[in-house]
Structure 1
Amino acid sequence: MDDPANKAPAPRIRVLLLDDDHFMLELLADMLADIGAAAGAAVSFEVRAESDAKRALASLASDAPALLICDLSMPDMDGIEFMQAAAAAGFGGGVMLLSGMDSGVRKAAERLAKAHGLNVLGAFKKPISAQELQAALAPLVAAYSPGQENSYNLSPLSGK
């Protein structure tokens, strides 16, 4: 019989959510909690939600996430500027871009982020569905699951 006291805790995947819409931040955090629960406690998500791009950028250095989910359209510093600054700061985690803008804008942002050396998992239309989010995160969840090496090689995905 397995002794729960000897069981290693589920790996925690750090995620930084960046969006100026507080409802979207709550929705994404809830979706991530559901995805973690659906993974059968194999992984969990440690979520930090930010509505201020400058604070989010400052946190990249001190509390580097494995995943950044970023809106493209924000006041003060838009998602493109944020991606450029994150790349310049040496951010090495996965990046998912979200936007209500048309697919051409999302594709252009995705290409630009990749050109800056970021590991872009895809550019998705807002609001992203729970199924799309789960599919996009499947390689990351698998890489962090017990028995897997923690050097994930995520293939790019694109939202429609």
Structure 2
Amino acid sequence: MTTALRILLLDDDPFMLELMTDMLQGMGYENVRAESDARRALAALPEFGPDLLICDLSMPDMDGIEFLRAAAEAHFDGSVVLLSGMDSGILRAAETLAMAQGLSILGACSKPVPRTDLADMLARAWQQREARARPPAHGGVK
């Protein structure tokens, strides 16, 4: 059931992209797209329609904060997991900024993310996807 979750990975480090892709596929998530360039990842948002975005914060050209701002402006309504090799204070600040942009942040993790933490966030991403797919209970407008 969870294999239908569409996941977009964004990290400028090819090794980290391969590691994360392998980890996700090993957990049964086959619909994974990996991008090393933030502008290509932005273009992938409407065409790929990810349910979950796993985004590195420290990237050249367009950093993770700039990318998340652009994703919010593009009305990305999936879930987000932030990754960074930086200290936890920077992760918390980025998480706060992303939530202020209206994004649904599942967590902010240091690299490499432990498999158990990733599994928990994937389960929550699935739950949020299912909640978005349900019609409003009272016929109201979102």
TM exceeding 0.5: yes
2:22 counterpart of 1:30: yes
Task: Tell me the distance in 2 between the aligned counterparts of 1:10 and 1:127.
Answer: 22
> Identity rate of aligned residues, in percent?
58
SS at match of 1:150: helix
What is the Cα-based RMSD across aligned positions, in Å?
2.0
Change (3 A) 1:10 1:89: closer
Pick from 59, 70, 85 the counterpart of residue 44 of structure 2: 59
Pick from 86, 89, 95 the counterpart of residue 110 of structure 1: 95
Task: Tell me the distance in 1 between the aligned counterparts of 2:39 and 2:130.
Answer: 29
For normalisation by structure 2, the TM-score amounts to 0.86
2:122 counterpart of 1:137: yes
Q: Which residue of 1 aligns with 2:131?
A: 151
AA matched with 1:34? G
For normalisation by structure 1, the TM-score amounts to 0.77
2:56·2:84 contact (CA, 8 Å) conserved in 1?
yes
Task: Tell me the distance in 2 between the aligned counterparts of 1:11 and 1:24.
Answer: 21
> Residue by residue, what CA displacement relative to the aligned partner does 1:100-151 show, whole Å, maximum 9, x if unpaired?
100000000000000000000011001111121112222234x39xxxx822
Task: Tell me the distance in 2 between the aligned counterparts of 1:88 and 1:140.
Answer: 21
- Find the structure with the greater CA-based Rg: 1
Q: How many residues align?
A: 133
Q: Which residue of 2 aligns with 1:12?
A: 4
AA matched with 1:150? E
Q: Which runs of no fewer than 5 residues in structure 2 stay unpaired? A: 133-142
Task: Tell me the distance in 2 between the aligned counterparts of 1:11 and 1:27.
Answer: 18
2:106·2:124 contact (CA, 8 Å) conserved in 1?
no
Moved more, 24-33 or 131-140: 131-140
Task: Tell me the distance in 2 between the aligned counterparts of 1:10 and 1:150.
Answer: 11
Change (3 A) 1:34 1:116: same
> Residue by residue, what CA displacement relative to the aligned partner does 1:68-106 show, whole Å, maximum 9, x if unpaired?
000000000000000000000000000000001000000
Pick from 73, 78, 96 the counterpart of residue 88 of structure 1: 73
